Structure 1
Amino acid sequence: MNQTQAQMVLSAAIILRRYLSSRTQNPISSLSSATTSLRSLKTLTAKPPQQADHGNSERGISNDDYFAAIHHISNIVRRDFYLERTLQKMQISVTSELVYRVLRSCGKSGIESFRFFNWARNQPRYEPTTIEFEELIKTLGRTRNWETMWKVAEQMKKQDFVLTPETFSLIIESYGMQGLVDRAVEVFNRMKNFKCPHTTEVYNSLLFSLCEVKNFQGAYALIRRMIRKGGVPDKRTFSILVNGWCSAGKLREAQEFLEEMSRKGFNPPVRGRDLLIDGLLDAGYLESAKELVRKMTKEGFLPDIATFNSLLEAICKSGEVDFCIDLMRDVCRLGLCPDISTYKIMIPAVSKLCRIDEAFKLLHNSIEDGNKPFPGLYAPILKALCRGGQFDDAFSFFSDMKAQGHPPNRPVYTMLIRMCGRGGRFVEAANYLVEMTELNLSPRAQSFDMVTDGLKNCGKHDLAKRIEQLEISFRGV
């Protein structure tokens, strides 16, 4: 093949790939094509990924291959009407690891998961364990397939498997979220038949169900029973009832409850005012939460850092970034030390408003606090600089971050290439594409297309050809 023919093949491959990527694939047809493209599922699913790195290295099985197989099987379970027949035709080595991962992946498909589990149980050399049974029960509860859920629970009981309090908690809450409190109470009472204890977690789930229907009298009675039976309320116990009262606009009742529990010696694991702020935020009373935190800071009291971060996040989402900046200054003067979550909230918020100086100040404070900058912190600043047309500053800052911070990841490079393209900086975009491939980060097809077309439009045909060749060599088209 001469050079001209090679170039024609190269161009045809690029055009064909672009054409195929622009078409909308039929989900069912893509499933059938995936069947032929995957390697033998019997080989791929024979070992979990923890062992694939070692025991399967000689056969070339990687984590990516294993999880691709799991994804493929999960798609069949979710979408194929004749899933049992399709699965039976495939060479699948059924293991507990595989069944568990597929069930987790199909968490929104209750009956389909049940059918898959029954099919798996009929396969040779597979015996279900507690973890698969419980994952199926959780899925059936979430999807309101309660009759089937109880059939599975009874099967577990017959096989001497023990349902954990965590599973019962999820079942109780699944009833509570649908307002079926009587059923939730019934499950709570049936637990003794399964020899499962009433833990604090279980009490909290029933408490949540009662608060969902505003039965605060019953909820408080349940807490008294819990204490009488020797249970110890935890943070969630307090939070559920406080949040419930706050959502009903009963702030006074929430305060009185906290004071009464304190008098009885059951102080919440966090301060009462923090619980009230959290409750107001969960109920959507943002102004009341802001007023309460203003009052706290004026009196010299500091919120818990987790509560403070929740408040910052809610206020930033409402667009009141200036309030957050002022509030942060006030609490820092009082001695509150921001954590990394604080900076993860504030830096993107101020960067989005193109408050570059404020963003750099926050990033500098984060570094002074001992945090090494990671992509989630410096990417918003990069984007803001590019949006403001300050590309030279952005490129210089990016170089500093590569040297001083965590290495940039694929989303950061993709964003930077896209912003360069929007600003007409196609040569720099091409350089970042090359840099990505050198780091073995796979660029998106759209990035190659944008850079190639942009270079051609500005007369950089030789560089455009090099980028096309790079795509071919990297993707193996």
Structure 2
Amino acid sequence: MLDLQSCCLRPCSTYLLVSDLGHPMLRNSTLLKIVSQYGLAKNMKLCNGFSYQVNSSIFCLFNYFCKIPESPELPSWFIFPSSEKSAVPNLNDNFVLPSLVKGGSNGAHDLKTCHTDVFSEILDCGVNEISELLKASCFESPEMVVHALDACNLDVSKTLVDKILKRFSNNWIPAFGFFNWANKQAGYNHSSDAYDSIIDILGKAEQFDLMWCLVDEMIQRKDFFSLITLSKIMRRLARTGRWKDAVDVFHRIEVFGLNQDTSAMNILLDALCKERNVEHARDVFLELRGRISPDANSFNILIHGWCKARKLVDAHLMMEEMRKYGFHPCVISYTSLIEAYSSDKNFRKVRLLLSEMHENGSPPNVVTYTIVMHALGKAKQTQEALEIFETMKKDGCSPDTSFFNSLIYILGKAGRLCDADDVFKQMSTSGIAPDVTTYNTLITSACDNSQEDKALVLLKKMEKSSCKPGLETYAPLLKMCCKKKRMKTLQFLLNDMFSKDISLELGTYTLLVRGLVCSGQLEHSCLFFEEMILKGFLPRKHTYNMLVKELERKNMEKARCKIQELMVQAENKHPLQAFNQTQANSFG
């Protein structure tokens, strides 16, 4: 059994595939020079004859996973990644990843493709080398990251910076350290996009002092601070309950080189409404409307905010206010109301509003019908949901990708998986391309119905299309692995996510911790709980309580004490969030 205390595990690299350590790129990698500087290195000889120094936590986890008996959950090509066995999947394996097998050479490429592939490969090598270094150690400060990266000898480009910041978007210390290191490199200057990305990362991590320092840098650079930057700052401030600070940013907007106009006001209103501060948004609107003329979008933002807060009387009053200003409620206005009533399963009111839309010359569009159909499907009124399609066709409204996605979801929830597959096939014949949500919906449906091989085939098909998998794609797969105790597949998927620049966030960590607790994998659950805190997240109280309770039940006293200590550390770093969680629990 893995002893968390004896190895002092720092699980920031829990999902590093062992096969990566034997990659030719890493044989002379600066990664191997760096980890020894922090007292984290341990000699390890791999089967290919090369010796490496690797992070002690990687070594501990590697050693643990290697002691797990091989199971039929994975085929031979996964168990023996370096071609020790045939790369052809074994059809007798229970849980095969057939479509994830990397094929051999395709022979000659044309010259254009060859040039592009070489450039892409060089870039990927740089991204991977930096990524492996950043996740090999738990850096305590951005300065430590800069010091570690100084050993790298890489050309920095805008594309490389964008990829690294995206890959570490939920881990502010390596992201900010890399950002500072890149800024020192000769021949490179950060773009406004890079500044926007790191400001969003720091705001997400509540590192507002550092964020404001970067804002000052942006102000010094002409045309760097934009409405996009303003939107990111306001959203992050509002999300952490700092709505007064968000309003103050608007009042000081000239300092950033912007104007107090309708567009900027709408960004503030939108940030407040999306973070469920519609009352404050209303107060701001009342204060500003005398000197900044609102437009139809201003009213639609507030209507949507009231609808999200389920204060539908206020939403209707705002619609009346909209009319007084000379704006007619449009399809956006009505659709917000219809979405709220649909969520409340008040379909009588929905039908009345649909009729009113026709009478007022703002007929429902495909978005409106999709919302209604989706709500009916969730309410298990499948036949009524399918009838919406006929109603929509009578109105001359053509379905789009989102409509078909909702239809696939409804059929999947109703257990009509074959019909859902038929809809997916019909999309292409109808000239409607599937999007990320299409694949996410199909993968979720397959996982919910324990169709593991189908889910992974869909994942590979998605990768071959123009659709890029995201957190929502992998979440049902991770949940399925936890439920079925597929630890090797879980490890594979997490590494696959990292290679695609998908950074884990609080929701994903919560899913992993809770899922592993439910499946009895407490050691793994503790690893992810610790990693969550090391990356700057505050675990949700019910997740923490669930883990501690199960550790007590299993008499795992050392692990329980460790988890409790980690939670105290996290709460000390996030006092406002901890207070809000306590308040929510007291009223829950």
Bucket of the pairwise TM-score, normalised by the shorter protein: 0.5 to 0.7
Mapped to 2, the partners of 1:40 and 1:196 lie a distance apart of: 49
Determine which of 170, 174, 178 is the counterpart of 1:116: 178
- Seen in structure 2, the aligned counterparts of structure 1 residues 311 and 72 have a Cα distance that, compared at 3 Å, is farther
1:33: which partner in 2? 21
Matches within 5 A, 1:216-295: 216=278, 218-224=280-286, 227-235=289-297, 237-280=298-341, 285-288=343-346, 290-295=347-352
Once the two structures are TM-superposed, the CA of residue 299 in structure 1 deviates from its matched residue by: 6.7
Supply the AA of the counterpart residue of 2:202: L
Alpha-carbon distance in structure 2 between the residues aligned to 1:171 and 1:40: 41
The percent identity for this pair of structures is 23
- CA gap of 1:357–1:143, structure 2 versus 1, over 3 A, is closer
Aligned partners of 2:201 and 2:433: how far apart in 1? 39
Say if 2:384 is the partner of 1:310.
Answer: no
- Offset at residue 176 of structure 1 (A): 0.7
Q: Match for residue 187 of structure 1?
A: 249
Q: Give the unaligned 5+ runs of structure 2.
A: 1-12, 31-109, 450-460, 466-588
Shift of 1:92: 1.0
Shift of 1:145: 0.7
Deviation at 1:324, TM superposition (A): 0.9
Distance 1:54 1:311 in 2: 51
State the shift of 1:137 in Å: 1.3
Alignment-derived partner of residue 567 in structure 2: none
Aligned counterparts of 1:27 and 1:273: Cα–Cα separation in 2: 46
Q: Which segment is superposed worse, 253-262 or 294-303?
A: 294-303
1:287 counterpart SS class: coil
Any idea what the Cα deviations from partners look like across 1:346-379, whole Å, max 9, x if unmatched?
14532564547966986798688655899959x9
Q: Which residue of structure 1 aligns with residue 554 of structure 2? A: none
* Aligned-partner Cα distance in 1 for 2:220–2:132: 31
Matched, 1:173 2:230: no
Q: How many angstroms apart in 2 are the aligned matches of 1:178 and 1:132?
A: 23
Whether the aligned pair in 2 keeps the contact of 1:309 and 1:341 (CA below 8 Å) is: yes
In the alignment, which residue of structure 2 is the partner of 1:76?
133
SS of residue in 2 equivalent to 1:97: helix
Does 2:123 align with 1:63? no
Contact 1:169-1:201 at 8 Å conserved across structures = no
**1:358–1:213 Cα change, 3 Å:** closer
Whichever of the two has the greater Rg, that structure is 1
Q: Quickly say closer, same or farther: Cα 1:151–1:364, change in 2 above 3 A.
A: closer
**Cα distance in 1 between the residues matched to 2:434 and 2:247:** 49
RMSD between superposed Cα atoms in Å:
4.4
Alignment of 1:87-102 (within 5 A): 87-102=149-164
Work out the CA distance in 1 between the residues paired with 2:251 and 2:125.
43
Post-superposition CA distance 1:50-77 (Å, at most 9, x none): xxx9889459615355345424423533
Tell me the amino acid that sits aligned with residue 274 of structure 1.
T
Q: Is the 8 A contact 1:300 1:334 kept in 2?
A: no
User: Could you tell me the TM-score, scaled by structure 2's length?
Assistant: 0.50
Question: Cα distance, 1:124 vs. partner?
Answer: 2.2
SS class of match (1:61): helix
Structure 1 residue 246: Cα displacement: 2.5
Measure the CA separation in 2 of the matches of 1:57 and 1:362: 38
CA offset at residue 230 of structure 1?
4.6
Q: Which amino acid aligns with 2:322?
A: M
Corresponding residue of 2:214: 152
- Equivalent position to 1:321, from 382, 405, 408: 382
Greater Cα shift, 59-68 or 154-163: 59-68
Contact kept? 2:331, 2:357, Cα under 8 Å: no
TM-score normalised by length of structure 1: 0.60
Change (3 A) 1:266 1:151: same
Q: 1:311 to 1:77 in 2, by over 3 A?
A: farther
Q: Secondary structure at the match of 2:255?
A: helix
Q: Is the 8 A contact 1:103 1:135 kept in 2?
A: yes
Instruction: Using the TM superposition, name which of 120-129 and 331-340 deviates more.
Output: 331-340
Amino acid aligned to 1:294? R
The answer for the alignment partner of 1:330 in structure 2 is 391
| Cα pair distance change 1:142/1:64, threshold 3 Å | same
Deviation at 1:247, TM superposition (A): 3.6
* C-alpha distance in structure 2 between counterparts of 1:133 and 1:373, whole Å: 33
Aligned to 2:65: none
**Distance of 2:116 and 2:271 partners within structure 1:** 51
Residue 204 (structure 1) aligns with: 266
Structure 1 residue identity aligned to 2:387: D
CA distance in structure 2 between the partners assigned to 1:136 and 1:380 by the alignment: 33
Counterpart selection for 1:140 from 202, 206, 210 = 202
Match of 1:103 among 158, 165, 171: 165
Residues 371-406 of structure 1: CA deviation (Å, up to 9, x unaligned) = 5899959x969x99xx9xxxxxxxxxxxxxxxxxxx
> Are the equivalent residues in 1 in contact too, given 2:202–2:211 (CA < 8 A)?
yes
Structure 1 CA distance, aligned partners of 2:433 and 2:235? Answer: 40
TM-fit CA distance, 1:222: 3.1
CA contact (8 A) 2:401 2:435 kept: no
CA 33–219 in structure 1, closer or farther in 2 if over 3 Å, else same: same
CA distance in 1, matches of 2:22, 2:330: 51
* Separation of aligned partners in 1, 2:331 and 2:288: 20
TM-aligned CA distance change 1:294 to 1:139, over 3 Å: same
- Give, in whole Å, the separation in 2 of the partners of 1:180 and 1:372: 41
Residue in 2 that maps onto 1:7: none
The separation in 2 between residues aligned to 1:75 and 1:135, in whole angstroms, is 21
Distance 1:410 1:195 in 2: 42
Larger RCO: Structure 1 or Structure 2 (Cα < 8 Å, ≥ 6 residues apart)?
Answer: 2
Q: How far apart are 1:330 and its partner, in Å?
A: 3.4
Cα distance, 1:126 vs structure 2 = 2.0
Structure 1 residue 167 displacement after superposition: 0.5
Letter in 2 for 1:175: L
Q: Determine which of 392, 403, 413 is the counterpart of 1:342.
A: 403
Q: 1:265/1:109 Cα in 2 relative to 1: closer, same or farther (>3 Å)?
A: same
Q: Which moves more between the two structures, 121-130 or 67-76?
A: 67-76
Moved more, 240-249 or 119-128: 240-249
Structure 2 distance, partners of 1:32, 1:361, is 39
Change (3 A) 1:209 1:358: closer
Counterpart-to-counterpart distance in 2, 1:54 and 1:134: 36
Distance change in 2, residues 1:209/1:55 (3 Å): same
Query: CA distance change for structure 1 residues 216 and 120 in 2, over 3 Å: closer, same or farther?
Result: closer
Spell out, residue by residue over 1:296-325, the C-alpha distance to the aligned partner (whole angstroms, 9 max, x if none).
456784522112213333443454423311
**Structure 1 residue 198: Cα displacement:** 3.2
